[in-house]
């Protein structure tokens, strides 16, 4: 049963990743759609990170007791100043674990 679950999950996830890069799929992306999709990376990544930063235990935490929020603000400042992804990730994680 567990193997069946693993295999079916593999199939579903692979299809979701592959289907739209299959050239035989009859789909032409017009310029409007391409423009729309150009927003997908920042929009999706933001949608993944926002709940992590703002919500703990099902409640919104907009105050400075929220170590996630402090770390996130620090990360925003760091990336604006340094423009270095790795440095920003590592330093803001260090600060986070200090205040957490």
Beta-strand ranges (E) seen in the chain are: 55-56, 59-60
Residues 25-64 that bind other proteins (CB under 8 A): 27, 29, 34-55, 58-60
Cβ 63 to other proteins shortest distance, Å: 15
Q: Which residue has the tokens 């996630």?
A: 68
How many helices, marked H, and strands, marked E, lie in the chain? 5, 2
Q: Is 66 in the site for other proteins (CB under 8 A)?
A: no
* CA–CA–CA angle 47, 42, 50 (5° rounding): 25
| Residue among 64, 65, 76, 98 that touches other proteins (CB under 8 A) | 76
Other C-beta atoms within 10 Å of 70: how many? Answer: 19
Q: Is 98 in the site for other proteins (CB under 8 A)?
A: no
Which spans of this chain sit near other proteins (rule: CB under 8 A)? Answer: 1-10, 12-14, 16-23, 27, 29, 34-55, 58-60, 67-68, 71-72, 75-76, 78-80, 83-86, 88-90, 92-93, 96-97, 100
């Amino acid at each position: 049963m567990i193997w069946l679950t693993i295999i079916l999950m593999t199939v579903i996830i692979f299809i979701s990743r592959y289907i739209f890069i299959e050239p035989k799929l009859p789909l032409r992306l017009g310029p409007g759609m391409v423009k729309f999709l150009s927003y997908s990376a920042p929009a999706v990544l933001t949608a993944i990170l926002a709940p992590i930063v703002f919500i703990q235990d099902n409640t919104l935490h907009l105050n400075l007791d929220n170590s996630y929020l402090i770390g996130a603000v620090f990360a925003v400042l760091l990336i604006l100043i340094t423009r270095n992804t790795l440095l920003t990730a590592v330093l803001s994680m260090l600060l986070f674990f200090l205040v957490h």
